[in-house]
Structure 1
Amino acid sequence: MKRLYIYSIAILLLTFGTMTSCTKDFEEINTDPNNPVSISPSLLLPNAIQVTVDRYWGHSTRYQRLNIDAAMCWIQHLSRNIYINAEGDSYEIPLTISSGTWNSIYNESLINFERVITLSEAGAEFENSNYLGIAMTMQSFGFAYLTDVFGPIPYSEALNGTAEEAINSPKYDSMEDVYAGILTDLMEANDLLSTSGPEVVGDILFDGDIMKWKRFTNSLALRIANRQASKKPAESKALMTQILSDPVKYPIIESNDQAAELIHFDVIGSRNKMFDVFSTRSDWNISSTLIDKLLELDDERITVYAQPLSDGSYAGLPNGLTDAAAGTYNASVIGLKYLDPTAPSVLMTYAEVEFIKAEAALDGDIDGNAEDFLENAIKASFQQQGLVMPDDYMSRIGGVTKESIMTQKWIALFGQGVEAWNEFRRTGYPVMPAPNASSAFSNEGILPTRIEYPTSEYSLNRTNLDEGVSMLGGSDNMRTPLWWVD
């Protein structure tokens, strides 16, 4: 009996010890490695970048393709031969373009860059100044995209929904204030980004090359400063001069191999979105406006932008035709380069940087020869397409004027329809031809100046939206000009 009692006590002690051990290690044992409590910036960064690039370059979901269906047609790079009244070419767009752009950039892009910032800032769990700089640059790109498309937007309070004092109905900020905030963040991002700093993982844009990130950051600052130059000349001039006078501290994109572009792979989910759209449908042709200009200049870029007809010639399709009228044309379709599933999605090029400098020099905002910058820009555009600019090409463009600079920039921005649309709205160039007699445009015949706010803002954030519309200076329609219009 005594032996049985001792044995029983031993079992109880062993059980108690085991329970104590389980309790002590309970948190560690019950942590699911497949559902981590905290997510590192390396896991958030890839999708946030992908969503931003996807929306800017060419989203593949029908009725949500701002660049392909709307902007590239409005700017007359492309034209539609069917569904003309429903998908952009006639200046009529479905509401889903507005809501898809707004919701994806805010909810899938900007909020995740904000999480990267929170996780990587000084004293945070994954403190890393390079993650912080990258996220600030991409967040600036996303906010610039939204404000250039809509006008006033939620900015200063936009990403505070999960803050300690949550703001679920954010106020709208003026475009001027959004631009000021973006430029401040870009200058700070340049200071944070360091080639001798900590490594980053998950960078699908530059594969961890921090010098390329610095070049993109400062080039983007030049884009924003130049875009607002007519409204804030002194500040814009000072900032552009600051960047261009100190290339060691403020490196910029100086060659085509430093361009900001996302390289794709021929696997589902990674492919170039233009391939996804244009390779499966034949709704689009190259606009006659672009074809006619390239033929006028005897410009070899036509061989990259468009495919020839069966007789080797090139022909465009006028914009805004009725479906019946469009069916009578035999017009070129988009070039094979853009049907390559691995073709890059482009955010910013060396050519664009040189065009910015050409315009700024012409306007007296920076030192330098506008003609030299313009020639560099055109050469870079030809090289980007695998071509060589003819020696006499500068003699074909009619001198160095605002119109010649912006018309050449429009040609070079093929594929970046939103960017070309921004520049057209800002400067009025290139001068578009009179509508074809068979064209039937909506929007009172006015090439859209912006897109309307999504209907969700009317139901969820109406008071702040009304304030935003008042800042807009006109109605919430596609005819009210934006702040930076010359």
Structure 2
Amino acid sequence: MKAIRLQAILLLSLSLVFAQSCTEDFEEINTDPNNPIAISPALLLPYAIQTSVDRYWGHSTRYERLNIDGAMCWIQHLSRNIYINVEGDSYEIPLTISTATWNNIYNESLVNFESVLRLSSPEGPFPNSNYTGVALTMKAFSFAFLTDVFGPIPYSQALKGTAAVPINSPEYDGMEVIYAGLLEELKIANEKLVVGGPSISGDILFKGDILRWKKFANSLRLRLANHQAAKKPAESRAIMREILADPATYPVFTGNNDFAQLLHVDVIGSRNKMFDVFSTRSDWNMSRTLIDKLVALKDDRIKVYAQPIDDGSYAGLPNGLTDAAAGDFNVSRIGTKFLSPTAPSILMTYSELLFIQAEAALDGDIMGDPVLLLEAAIKASFEQHGLAFPSDYMSRIGTVDKETIMTQKWLALFGQGVEAWTEYRRTGFPIMPPAHPNAVFSNDGILPTRIEYPTAEYSLNRDNLEEGLRKLGGDDNMRSPLWWKE
């Protein structure tokens, strides 16, 4: 009996020890190494970057392509020969473009960049200042994209849905507030990005080259300062001079080998989105406005931007024609460079940086000769496309003034329809020709000034949306001007 009792006590003791051991190690034992609690920034970064770039350059899903169906037609880089009344050329677009742009930038890009910021902070599981700098730069690019097409948007309270005190109905900030925040975030990004510092992975834009990220952050800061220069001249002037006076602290693009462009691979999902659209459809043509300007200047960029018609010449289609009227024209299609699956998607070029400086010099915001800076900008645009810059080109463009600079910038921004549209809305240049007699335009015949807010905002966030409209200073239509308009 004593032996039996002793054996029972021993078994009970072992069971208690084992139970205590299981309890102590429960969390470790039940953690699946293949499903980590904290996702690495390297896993979030590629998709977030890809989404921002695709939405800016040209998404491939029909009725969601703001750049291709909207901006590039409105700014008369391209024109349409069919579907003009539902896909942009007549100044009318489906609300799905607004919804898709809004939802994807907020939910697929900005949410992930915010997660990268949280994860890479000093208190996060993957502390790394270079991830922080990259996320801040792309966050600024993405918010700037949104506010430049919509106007006031949720910014300071956005992305707070999972905060300790969640905000599911964020307030709308005015563009002045948003620009101030983005300019400050880009300055912080430059400080956080440390060349020779910790390495990063998942960087599909610059392959982990931190100096190139610093150049992009500072060049983008110059873009935004220039956008707002007419409204906040003293602040913008100070920012531009700070950057350009200290290239060691604030490096910027220095050539066509280091500007911001996403290099694609020929794999479904990773191809250039213009290829996905233009290579399978023929209802886009070159705009007559663009072709006529290039022909008048004897500008060789026409050979890159467009394909010749049967007789070897180039011809453009007037914007806004009905399907029937457009069928009477023999016109050029977009150039073969843009029909390659591996063609780059461009966020900001070296030539754009020089155009910014040329305009700023003309306005007296920075020191420099606007004529020489303009010449350098145009030359960089030619060289970007593998073309020689003609020695007499400057004599072809006439007097250098604001219109000249902005018209040349419009030519150089081919493909970047959203930015060309922003510059037109901001400055009023280039001056567009009178509409063709057979053109039919919606929107009261006014080239769109913005796109409308998604319909879901009216049901999910109406009070804040209405305050946003007050800050816009106009109705929720495509005719209300935005804050930075000169």
Cα offset, 1:35, TM superposition: 1.8
Deviations 1:161-220 (A, max 9, x none): 111111111111111110001111111111111102211111111111110000000000
Gaps of 5+ in 2: none
Equivalent residue number for residue 95 of structure 1: 95
Equivalent residue number for residue 63 of structure 2: 63
After superposition, residues 410-421 of structure 1 pair within 5 angstroms as 410-421=410-421
Equivalent residue number for residue 364 of structure 2: 364
Cα offset, 1:34, TM superposition: 2.5
Question: 2:257 is paired with a residue of what secondary structure?
Answer: helix
Are positions 1:402 and 2:411 aligned together? Answer: no
Cα offset, 1:11, TM superposition: 5.9
After superposition, residues 72-151 of structure 1 pair within 5 angstroms as 72-151=72-151
Cα offset, 1:18, TM superposition: 4.4
2:413 aligned partner, one-letter code: L
1:243 aligned partner, one-letter code: I
Cα offset, 1:5, TM superposition: 7.2
Cα offset, 1:119, TM superposition: 1.3
Counterpart-to-counterpart distance in 2, 1:301 and 1:322: 28
Cα offset, 1:13, TM superposition: 5.7
Cα offset, 1:4, TM superposition: 7.3
Equivalent residue number for residue 328 of structure 1: 328
Counterpart-to-counterpart distance in 2, 1:7 and 1:309: 98
Cα offset, 1:103, TM superposition: 0.7
Equivalent residue number for residue 219 of structure 2: 219
Gaps of 5+ in 1: none
Cα offset, 1:121, TM superposition: 1.6
Deviations 1:392-435 (A, max 9, x none): 11111112111111111001000000000000001111111100
Deviations 1:296-321 (A, max 9, x none): 11111111111111221111111000
Counterpart-to-counterpart distance in 1, 2:19 and 2:395: 87
Equivalent residue number for residue 438 of structure 1: 438
TM-score, structure 1 as length reference: 0.97
Indicate the larger mover: 317-326 or 195-204. Answer: 195-204
Cα offset, 1:2, TM superposition: 7.7
Cα offset, 1:123, TM superposition: 2.5
Deviations 1:126-179 (A, max 9, x none): 111111111111111111111100111111101111111111111111111100
Equivalent residue number for residue 390 of structure 2: 390
Counterpart-to-counterpart distance in 2, 1:5 and 1:334: 92
Counterpart-to-counterpart distance in 1, 2:24 and 2:179: 53
Question: 1:256 is paired with a residue of what secondary structure?
Answer: coil
Counterpart-to-counterpart distance in 1, 2:22 and 2:331: 74
Cα offset, 1:122, TM superposition: 2.3
1:332 aligned partner, one-letter code: S
Question: 1:483 is paired with a residue of what secondary structure?
Answer: coil
RMSD between aligned residues: 1.4
Question: 2:357 is paired with a residue of what secondary structure?
Answer: helix
TM-score, structure 2 as length reference: 0.97
Are positions 1:244 and 2:244 aligned together? Answer: yes
Cα offset, 1:3, TM superposition: 7.3
Counterpart-to-counterpart distance in 2, 1:213 and 1:266: 25
Counterpart-to-counterpart distance in 1, 2:342 and 2:145: 24
Cα offset, 1:228, TM superposition: 0.6
Deviations 1:231-283 (A, max 9, x none): 11111111100100000000001101111011110001100000011111111
Question: 2:176 is paired with a residue of what secondary structure?
Answer: helix
Equivalent residue number for residue 159 of structure 2: 159
Counterpart-to-counterpart distance in 1, 2:463 and 2:22: 54
2:361 aligned partner, one-letter code: A
Counterpart-to-counterpart distance in 1, 2:413 and 2:78: 12
Equivalent residue number for residue 377 of structure 1: 377
Deviations 1:97-126 (A, max 9, x none): 001101111111111111111111222221
Question: 1:290 is paired with a residue of what secondary structure?
Answer: helix
Counterpart-to-counterpart distance in 1, 2:139 and 2:153: 14
Equivalent residue number for residue 448 of structure 2: 448
Deviations 1:58-90 (A, max 9, x none): 111100000000000000000011101011000
Counterpart-to-counterpart distance in 2, 1:88 and 1:389: 34
